[in-house]
Structure 1
């Protein structure tokens, strides 16, 4: 089973990709919240233009001032406390799971929204107090400011309650595994939805267009590459998929057809369709999620931790991911959108290497992990796909060889060996 990879217009565009990176920054949402808070505080002055403004209730300046002072004096302290708690959660995720999971933990929506609400409420109260105490608000303005203050106060309470529930879980190993699983499943689904929209690899001689610098391919803008191919009347075969390590001597694409464009200009235009960075990312790289899950299991199986249960949970997670992936691959039937772009397939053996090799090596000393490993691979082999079965059998045999070397009791070795022969008939 060959697993092709394409990004289309319903997947991640370049704009959405960069916006997703922006949302991961801790300063982005608080900045938006500050701007909205300032706008809300000044908005109350516009109510004077409404004809019915004089019929609104007259709220005293003192009552609003006390509410705003309470918010201003507490929100900054709560925001600092929130940042400290989030940093502790991030450190916990990096130490208990793997540093590669940090980007998923730091992009937690509930925590970022709570921090934004706390900082926004602080800015709102300060701006509103300044405007209020300088008599910029009249009767209608004070009433609207009072309503806005009550709304902000309610938002703070709701955000705090949600955040307390989330921070109790954020950074915990189980929560981190769930985040990695969800990110990997999304990347796999994105791959499946786009897997049939490229063309078959063209025949004949092709010219290599190399990368400009060293780094991991994080994203490919296939729509931009298709547009360039249409303009130049050529066809491109993508050589570097997301997750691949590029270098100046490694081809990003192979070009078939004649192009009159200057070589340097062509290389620059092709490279513009590729986002290359220092680290791999989850959005367009299903294999990276499998690598991270495998690293979490390896750390759990280290002598310092010796947590066999986490490794078994990771095996179950990989089983769910591959089962869902295989089922969705069979159901997928997308029309071709890119008639000038060919995408090389991902090999199922490579994905199994990412997911299972480290667990087979580091978990071979445990009879529980060894048996669960064999059972998980047998389940995948029974899904009905020949390539999947071959990959599962290959990795089951590898796991058996590791177990024979590390298990100390002959009865345990016989148990794993018997299970392997029962599952795969060798």
Structure 2
């Protein structure tokens, strides 16, 4: 049940209509709530408000908000297409869930619905003296909200879908996911020390990417059956029907069909990867933008250099973790979880850029400077890999650059 709610909520968040629907329901509620003030002590305290004055405001809102809403949707769709074309299609999910745009669209459509409902109620004499006064306050407040939202949205829509803004959004989402991984690298479970190679394996019943693992469900199953469960896949891994998603201590008199079903139900598999829990996916999306910028048809090394800077900031999150001396909090003591190799993060972030930018001295210089920078992080594995990838990047440059003075300059920035 928890897994189904998680999936449903995650999918709802990506729907463009979800927030506008909530605001529409709130608007209808506000228009009807004003009637509750009638017949109370407010009748002797509030001013007399003419129906015509409220109706004029409502007519203004209703006649303009639908047009602005259509314009907002068209602008957002244009921005989404721009983000997919100029950056990477993987960035679409981030851009489409942009809070500013969804909030603006919600306010515009909700205001239109409010004005229609309130106008119909007014025409049918639904409000008394106090109700008219409360409705007048609601209308003025809504009008002020619309104006402020529109001004903020006009300022923001100019950036939505632009490459620089998309890069910033992807980096921000990646930083959140990576911080979560650094703080809890084993998903609040135990690391794998002794593999359950002689235990019972559970095969996947799906083909696709692991999107979410319900650790609490696996822990509950382990407690109920007295098992030690080893998780063999993490969010972001691609699995198939012959892949052993889990292994567990082999105990007799167990209903293997029931255990297989429950373990598969605890692991959500889909066609695409999610940024929220897949700490590597953000690096991949950023690097795709850099590779696209370095293609001969676009030839934009400045964007690749900007992406390298994003990677540098992300890797320094490990430096902050070392300074805070964070420890893995154990919530699921019956589960063991594999470790994501640091080399995988380096591959995702730097290998495609060093391959596609090998012939560009500016890109390769910036790449070597980043290796020098992250080599100072208080993390032994990062230090070793920074030197290794510095060597590999220089070897790629040697094969691509024909101008020896460029190679000489590049060699001075290397870590070896």
Q: Which TM-score band applies after superposition, normalised by the shorter structure?
A: over 0.9
Asked if residue 390 in structure 1 is aligned to residue 390 in structure 2, the reply is: no
Tell me the distance in 2 between the aligned counterparts of 1:412 and 1:227.
Answer: 60
Tell me the distance in 2 between the aligned counterparts of 1:203 and 1:304.
Answer: 48
**What's the C-alpha RMSD, in Å, of the aligned pairs?**
1.8
Structure 2 SS opposite 1:339: strand
Offset of residue 68 of structure 1: 0.5
Write the mapping of 1:23-422 to structure 2, written as runs, cut at 5 A: 23-195=13-185, 197-201=188-192, 202-204=194-196, 205-258=198-251, 260-329=253-322, 331-420=325-414
Offset of residue 369 of structure 1: 0.6
1:71-96, Cα deviation, whole Å (9 max, x unpaired) = 00000000000001111111111111
1:92-151, Cα deviation, whole Å (9 max, x unpaired) = 111111010011111111110000000000000001101101111121111111111111
Tell me the distance in 1 between the aligned counterparts of 2:405 and 2:23.
Answer: 63
Kept after mapping to 2: 8 A contact 1:188/1:325: no
Number of aligned pairs? 411
Kept after mapping to 2: 8 A contact 1:54/1:139: no
Offset of residue 14 of structure 1: 7.3
Offset of residue 64 of structure 1: 0.9
Tell me the distance in 1 between the aligned counterparts of 2:39 and 2:341.
Answer: 66
TM-score by length of 2: 0.95
Tell me the distance in 2 between the aligned counterparts of 1:166 and 1:192.
Answer: 32
Tell me the distance in 2 between the aligned counterparts of 1:386 and 1:181.
Answer: 24
Tell me the distance in 1 between the aligned counterparts of 2:39 and 2:403.
Answer: 86
Structure 2 SS opposite 1:342: strand
Kept after mapping to 2: 8 A contact 1:38/1:127: yes
Tell me the distance in 2 between the aligned counterparts of 1:50 and 1:398.
Answer: 78
Tell me the distance in 2 between the aligned counterparts of 1:16 and 1:328.
Answer: 28
Kept after mapping to 1: 8 A contact 2:190/2:335: yes
- Out of 22, 34, 39, the residue aligned to residue 12 of structure 2 is 22
1:288-321, Cα deviation, whole Å (9 max, x unpaired) = 0000011010011111211111111111111111
Kept after mapping to 2: 8 A contact 1:209/1:251: yes
- Structure 2 vs 1, CA of residues 30 and 270 (structure 1 numbering), >3 Å: closer, same or farther? same
Tell me the distance in 1 between the aligned counterparts of 2:113 and 2:72.
Answer: 16
Kept after mapping to 2: 8 A contact 1:89/1:172: yes
Tell me the distance in 2 between the aligned counterparts of 1:301 and 1:378.
Answer: 23
Hey, which bits of structure 1, 4+ residues long, moved more than 6 A?
none
Tell me the distance in 2 between the aligned counterparts of 1:351 and 1:200.
Answer: 19
Higher-RCO chain (CA-CA 8 Å, sequence separation at least 6): 1
Offset of residue 389 of structure 1: 2.1
TM-score by length of 1: 0.92
- Structure 2 vs 1, CA of residues 52 and 380 (structure 1 numbering), >3 Å: closer, same or farther? closer
Offset of residue 192 of structure 1: 2.3
Offset of residue 39 of structure 1: 0.8
1:51-83, Cα deviation, whole Å (9 max, x unpaired) = 332432111111111110110000000000000
Kept after mapping to 1: 8 A contact 2:69/2:105: yes
Structure 2 SS opposite 1:346: coil
Kept after mapping to 2: 8 A contact 1:48/1:141: yes
- Structure 2 vs 1, CA of residues 306 and 54 (structure 1 numbering), >3 Å: closer, same or farther? same
